[in-house]
Amino acid sequence: MAVVKCPLYNNPYYSYSIDLSGAEYNLTFRYSSRSEGYLMDISDAEETFIIRGIQLVPLFDLLGQYSLVSPEGTFILLPIEEASFSNSSIPNPRRLDLTHQLIYLDSEGLETIQGV
């Protein structure tokens, strides 16, 4: 089971490359003042978009609603402090990097948590 911690930064727009399930992907994040939250785009190594505009919502399978061939897993936005699980809201959406972490679970990891 692969679990990858994806960095979050204090910038309204940023992008980086990351290895997920043995393949290279580009993740792009942008803050939307309209939705008061961050949106994430996923593209492959050739910069072909796989999906755009995923709202980062805590404790939610961010790719579960999509039929994707790749990446094979999913992303979950988790509160950093355990006490925050009961109230997972984002107190300051512009500082998501201080209160939450973005985790990627491969398909095996996703099956494990779904079976719990």
Neighbours of 42 (CB within 10 A): 22
Distance linking the first and last C-alpha atoms of the chain: 15
Specify the pTM: 0.85
pLDDT: is 89 or 114 the higher one? 89
Instruction: Quick: pLDDT tens for 39-72.
Output: 999 999 999 999 999 999 999 999 988 887 778 8
CA 87 centroid distance within chain: 19
Judged by DSSP in three states, 1 sits in: coil
* The pLDDT of residue 68: 76
pLDDT: is 107 or 38 the higher one? 38
pLDDT: is 79 or 112 the higher one? 79
Query: Lowest-pLDDT range, 18-22, 52-56, 105-109?
Result: 105-109
- CA nearest neighbour of 54 among 72, 76, 35, 38: 38
Averaged confidence pLDDT in the chain = 86
